Structure 1
Amino acid sequence: MDPPPYESVLQDHGNFFAPVTAVSKEFEIEVCDPVKQGEGVAAYVSYKVRTKTTHSAYGSPFFEVIRRFRDFAWLHDKLVEKNKGLIVPPLPEKSAVQKYQMATDFIDQRRRALQVFVNRVASHPVLKDSRELQTFLQANEEAWMLEIAKWQAETNAQHRPVSAAAQWLKSLQHSAQSLVSGRADEIQEDPEYIKIRDYVNSLEAHLTEAHRQAGRLLRKEADMGSALAEFAAAAEALGKQDGEGPMRSAFGCLFTRAGEVAALSRSRSEALAVEFAAPLKEFARTIKSVQTAMGDRAAALAAYSQAKSDLDSKKVRLAKLRGTPGLKEDKIAETERDVNEADQRLRNAKLGYETIRDTMREELNRFQKERGVEMSALLRDFALAQARHTAEQAKAWGELLRDLQQAQQGQQAAA
């Protein structure tokens, strides 16, 4: 089944359960009722997450929990951690400045983006069955706070400087060994995959630029609405200078119709932000998720290459020991054990890489198909909306022309 248009994922069309049926056969999820909690730097927004499901792992068909942005981040990070090679749907960006301002439009934009995120997770063929999603959707407050505390402790431990330095030294060592051996990970990678990887990296830049230009478009539409509203007010004031004369009637008509067009422009700008700019931004964030999965593959390939290099060096060492006369057997036996252990690590690394490679093959196929359909639907809906908007504006200006003609005919009859 092809994925639905982006707006159906938002679930903001009356009955919030109806549109999501097209997204997931098993889940219908709404993020709603944002409430600001706390003040100052400690302020945050909580949301109700309402779920209706037919998934067999859930004991109840309907449940509701309270979650905040940090909790959605827990779900995202856990899914990335536990599902190497899968394209985990992206979270909206965390903006510290907008968080402190807590503007109504920012809160609603984030609510919409979080709703898209969790519904994409629930519609993913693998992630929908994850324990992490079930915990996020169902855990009561006490159980949830324990999960968050555990996660925060793990996160703090992972970000210690010593751990980061150790990771850097490890990667440096591997890079040096690759250079010395004349064998880089890039050489071992599938050429067809490299083409896809380069395409994805190029796609990110183009999507980012498309989103930037969409932002310019909606700002210009909003500016046009403001300019028309100001022009309408000026026209009305000018008409009043004529007392009850014909000028007042004509400029009164202009004030009315220009005000209508201004309202249309403001409405269109708001619609562009939700229906066009937001999906483009999410598409661009999704490319980051694809790159994260590609990073998992690159890391697995590096581990595979490193394991092969380690085994080769240990085999060379063993051969030298065996050729050394008078060497004790226990020394050779110890090196043989090292070779066997290195061989097992190589097998494990190879299996890990091949698992991620096969997972990504399916994921990239799914990603290209779904995003292609969604992008086509997005552009189609954009064109239709622009056509409707232009027709509505033309109608308003046409009615102004009719009003002016009627006023002119009335003046001629009076004369």
Structure 2
Amino acid sequence: MDMNSLSPMMPTSPLSMINQVKFEDEPDLKDLFITVDEPESHVTTLETFITYRVVTKTSRGEFDSSEFEVRRRYQDFLWLKGKLEEAHPTLIIPPLPEKFIVKGMVERFNDDFIETRRKALHTFLNRIADHPTLTFNEDFKVFLTAQAWELSSHKKQGPGLLSKVGQTVRAVAWSVRGVKSRPEEFMDMNDFIETFSQKINLIDKISQRIYKEEREYLDEMKEYAPIHTLWAESEEDLADTLSGVASCLARCCTATERRLSGLPEALLPVVHEYVLYSETLTGVMKRRDQIQAELDSKVEALTCKKADADLLTEEIGKLEDKVECANNALKADWERWRQNMRNDIKSAFSDMAERNVQYYEQCLATWESFLSSQSDFCSKEPCEEDP
């Protein structure tokens, strides 16, 4: 998908985003299956929170058992994401759902919000499980297998607060300083990310608006079947016809509800996930630039002879290796992510297109059958001529 050839101000149709996609069949070698379910509310004197059951089934030898069951809260998922970013700064870590209330949700802990978050957390873990590198991360294994007290103990083994603050200050300094010469392939990658972000955010807004308008249309259409039923009771000559119209409207309402269920179940979550992915990609590029900026600062110090030359030369050698590893990791993960993105978007829009075709065929057949019955009725019962 060549996003650079698209005008950032013009919306892109879903078809044009996926019309050049080709996929190869790969053998199913999955050996790690994760399910997030059974949300449970917890109320303490200090806070109210939700935990989710995480069930893992695996055939991997590095696991002590073939099945594990633990309970995790949202902040545990945040910890895992942070550890993955720390260990693999230039890999594309799957996004988590937003921490706070999502658009359209009034109550933070209502059933719709909890279910939406549960599905997103389930997707998050399975994205990691399917990743060729992240799936073997030790913190990921601990997250899936450790009981609550064990996980708390493991969290305390990380770097101290002062160490984290120091790393953050250095990262911010290198970020502000910037890189002198970002390689051209990463310049192209950054341009793609900016354009992709504009397009996917636009698609997300349009999808949300369509869903809202379709819901309003359905609510209005639901009023017509009862109205025609009441009308039939007061018009003896038109009773059969009006009752038929009411029946058609009721069937069309049922079909519309079935079609609309596909938007929040299939299309909207996929589109919104890639909105969050666009933010993740921006973060990945920043971390890559920070690593390169650190190298640039050491090279500049050596050129100006601001420190011990031998020590700087050794540090530069290590940083050059670090930059090369970071770049190679990002390039490999970038292609994997782009292929998954194309596949996900293609599947989501193809599924919705199929649902729409079935919906319109069903409604068309409903009304054609009704009109046919009315034609047959008129042919058997000649209508009186108007005076």
Tell me how large the CA RMSD over aligned residues is. 2.9
Q: Choose which of 77, 86, 110 in structure 1 pairs with 2:82.
A: 77
Q: Do the aligned residues in 2 keep the contact of 1:246 with 1:411 (CA within 8 Å)?
A: no
TM-score by length of structure 1 reads 0.78
1:294 aligns with 2:285: yes
CA distance in 2, matches of 1:231, 1:122: 49
Q: Is the counterpart of residue 251 in structure 1 residue 245 in structure 2?
A: no
In structure 2, what is the Cα distance between the partners aligned to 1:24 and 1:58? 17
- Report whether the alignment pairs 1:266 with 2:247: no
Cα pair distance change 1:163/1:348, threshold 3 Å: closer
State the match for 2:319 in structure 1: 349
Task: Using the TM superposition, give the Cα deviation of residue 85 of structure 1 relative to its aligned residue in structure 2, in angstroms.
Answer: 0.9
1:108 equivalent in structure 2: 115
1:52-63 superposed matches below 5 A? 52-63=57-68
Q: Of 29, 37, 46, which residue of structure 2 is paired with 1:32? A: 37
Show the counterpart of 2:329.
359
* Aligned counterpart for 1:395 among listed residues 357, 362, 365: 365
Equivalent position of 1:208 in the other structure: 201
Match of 2:213 in 1: 220
Which residue number in structure 2 is paired with residue 384 of structure 1?
A: 354
Q: Which has the higher contact order (CA 8 A, sep 6+)?
A: 2
Amino acid of the structure 1 residue aligned with 2:127: R
Mapped to 1, the partners of 2:370 and 2:162 lie a distance apart of: 68
Q: CA deviation at 1:287?
A: 2.2
Note the 1:395-414 alignment, pairs <5 A: 395-405=365-375
Q: Secondary structure at the match of 2:99?
A: coil
**Equivalent AA in structure 1 for residue 209 of structure 2:** R
Secondary structure of the residue that 1:86 maps to in structure 2?
A: coil
Give the drift of 1:48. Answer: 1.2
Is 2:232–2:243's contact at 8 Å kept on the other side of the alignment?
Answer: yes
Query: Is the 8 Å Cα contact of residues 262 and 352 (structure 2) preserved in structure 1?
Result: no
Distance 1:359 1:41 in 2: 42
Q: 1:48 to 1:411 in 2, by over 3 A?
A: farther
Residues 224 and 407 (structure 1 numbering): CA distance in 2 closer, same or farther, change over 3 Å? farther
Q: Deviation at 1:370?
A: 2.1
Q: Distance in 1 between matches of 2:213 and 2:163?
A: 45
SS in structure 1 at match of 2:96: coil
Question: In the alignment, which residue of structure 1 is the partner of 2:55?
Answer: 50
- Residues of 2 paired with 1:346 and 1:408: CA distance? 91
Larger Rg: 1
1:286-310 per-residue CA deviation (whole Å, 9 max, x = no partner) reads 2222222211210011001001011
Matches for 1:310-321 after TM superposition, within 5 Å: 310-314=301-305
Identity %: 19
| Structure 1, gaps ≥5 residues long | 1-20, 176-183, 318-334
Which one-letter code corresponds to 1:132 in the other structure?
Answer: D
Q: Give, in whole Å, the separation in 1 of the partners of 2:180 and 2:199.
A: 25
Rounded to whole Å, the distance in 1 between the matches of 2:164 and 2:294 is 21
Residue equivalent to 2:343? 373
Contact 1:52-1:63 at 8 Å conserved across structures: yes
Q: Which residue type is aligned with residue 173 of structure 2? A: K
Aligned residue type for 1:223: E
- TM-score w.r.t. length of structure 2: 0.83
Question: In 2 relative to 1, CA 103–406 (structure 1 residues): closer, same or farther, beyond 3 Å?
Answer: farther
1:405 is displaced (CA, Å) by 4.5
Match of 1:126 among 108, 125, 133: 133
Instruction: Work out which of the residue numbers 170, 173, 177 in structure 1 matches 2:173.
Output: 170
Aligned pair count reads: 356
The structure whose residues are more often helix, as a share, is: 1
